[in-house]
Amino acid sequence: MGVRSRIAAGAALLIGVVTAGIFGMMTHKEALEEASSYITYVIVEEEEVADSPKIALTFDDGPHPYYTEQLLDGLKERGAKASFFVLGKQAQAYPDLIKRMQEEGHLVGNHTYSHMQLGKNNREAFKAELVKTSEVLSELTGEEVQYVRPPYGSWDKGFETELMMFPVLWTVDPMDWCSDDVAGIVRKVTKKSKENSIILMHDEYKSSVTAALQIVDILQEQGYEFVTVDEILFD
Ligand SMILES: [Zn+2]
């Protein structure tokens, strides 16, 4: 039973109890006592079953040997999940970080091998980079790679059936890669974020990682739950 139906059930009981009181089956005092116990019941239930609004942090271009590790430590401390769209060449260079992402419940996605942008004349080369990167990642995680963040958002829908891979774009872009102003990045993201937002950041900069952890603190305080992006796309 969802929160609304529980409240409705509580309200129906309340009306029943008050009506019983009016019709003399119990005194008004008894009726009110009964009613207040139902009200308490409804409120307690609501706190227990209400779903927190979900939000997804996504990080592109990593893993970075130092900053990604710091980020993973910070996310772990806060019980927050994230999604990492990594470059195949970075994954090959820092395989332990990919394994750690997987072990700690984050989503590992594909961001091509060398950060290639899909253009008019490189469809096959782009596809080959996706395939190669997925091979590198599957080898490390033991799982099929289903999600891709195409560099610069350039995508060809044909890949979805050819490769069974799905693009993940974003809804909040603080342009963290072109600024080291931590407070500014935090402000942009916390101002624009709402339920089911997909935040785009980069884990190869100290400022981005510092900002990301502050963003987690602020939005968790507001009741948000940080989940992997698949939970937002398909729930
Ligand atoms: Zn990128």
User: Binning pLDDT at 50, 70 and 90, where does residue 51 land?
Assistant: confident
Rounded distance, CA 111 to CA 60, Å? 7
Q: How many CB atoms lie within 10 A of CB 68?
A: 23
CA of 110 to the centre of ligand 1 (A): 10
CA of 195 to the centre of ligand 1 (A): 24
* Alpha carbon separation from 198 to 124, 159, 214 (Å, rounded): 29, 22, 16
CA of 52 to the centre of ligand 1 (A): 30
CB 217 within 8 A of CB 182: no
CA of 21 to the centre of ligand 1 (A): 67
Give yes or no for residue 40 having a pLDDT over 70: no
Let me know if domain 54-234 sits in CATH 3.20.20.370.
Answer: yes
More confident residue, 39 or 102: 102
User: Binning pLDDT at 50, 70 and 90, where does residue 37 land?
Assistant: low
Active site residues: 60, 202
Residue ranges of domains in the chain = 3-49, 54-234
Of 30-39, 164-173, 222-231, the poorest mean pLDDT is in: 30-39
Query: Rounded to the nearest 5 degrees, what angle is found at the Cα of 109, between the Cα atoms of 105 and 192?
Result: 80
Q: Which residues are found with C-beta within 5 Å of the ion, ligand 1?
A: 60-61, 151
Rounded distance, CA 225 to CA 54, Å? 5
- Residue whose C-alpha is closest to residue 212's, from 114, 83, 107: 83
pLDDT one-digit tens code per residue, 184-218 = 999 999 999 999 999 999 999 999 999 999 999 99
pLDDT one-digit tens code per residue, 110-122 = 999 999 999 999 9
* The CA-based dihedral angle spanning residues 126, 131, 133, 136, taken in that order and rounded to the nearest 10 degrees: -160
